């Protein structure tokens, strides 16, 4: 059974209005060339938050396997697969 999680992605944006800031943040999330890979995740009913950095976790795995990846390759992989790792915040 799936659990309920609260997922947070934060960014500071200069904009003319709150709506413009939200639109810019959404555009960044959807931009295939942007790096929006770090999330803070808390399970419902828990006070433990885990920081998930999808790009960093992929980089660690690739380096351990002796096949380091470029930032561009990491971005492509993050976009194409559902990959998660865990770090407490």
27 C-beta neighbours (distance < 10 Å), count: 11
What pLDDT, on a 0 to 100 scale, did the predictor assign at position 85? 46
In a domain, 85, yes or no: no
What pLDDT, on a 0 to 100 scale, did the predictor assign at position 81? 57
Q: How far is CA 6 from CA 3, 24, 26, 43, 83, in A?
A: 10, 22, 18, 6, 18
**Is the pLDDT higher at 43 or at 75?**
43
> Which residues on neighbouring strands pair with residue 42, listed in sequence order?
6, 49
In a domain, 62, yes or no: yes
In a domain, 87, yes or no: no
Specify the pTM: 0.56
Binning pLDDT at 50, 70 and 90, where does residue 79 land?
Answer: low
Range of the domain at 52: 5-80
What pLDDT, on a 0 to 100 scale, did the predictor assign at position 4? 96
CA within 13 Å, CB half, 6? 8
Instruction: Give the number of domains in the chain.
Output: 1
In a domain, 57, yes or no: yes
What pLDDT, on a 0 to 100 scale, did the predictor assign at position 89? 45
Terminus-to-terminus CA distance in the chain, angstroms? 25
What is the pLDDT of the chain when averaged over all its residues? Answer: 80
In a domain, 88, yes or no: no
In a domain, 29, yes or no: yes
């Amino acid at each position: 059974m799936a659990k309920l999680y609260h997922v947070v992605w934060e960014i500071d944006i200069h904009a003319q209005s709150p709506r413009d800031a939200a639109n810019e943040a959404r555009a960044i999330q959807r931009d295939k060339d942007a790096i929006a890979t770090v999330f803070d995740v808390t399970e419902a009913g828990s006070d433990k938050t885990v920081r998930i950095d999808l790009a960093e976790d992929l980089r660690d795995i690739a380096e351990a396997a002796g096949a380091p990846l470029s930032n561009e390759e990491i971005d492509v992989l993050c976009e194409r697969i559902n990959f998660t790792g865990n770090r407490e915040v």
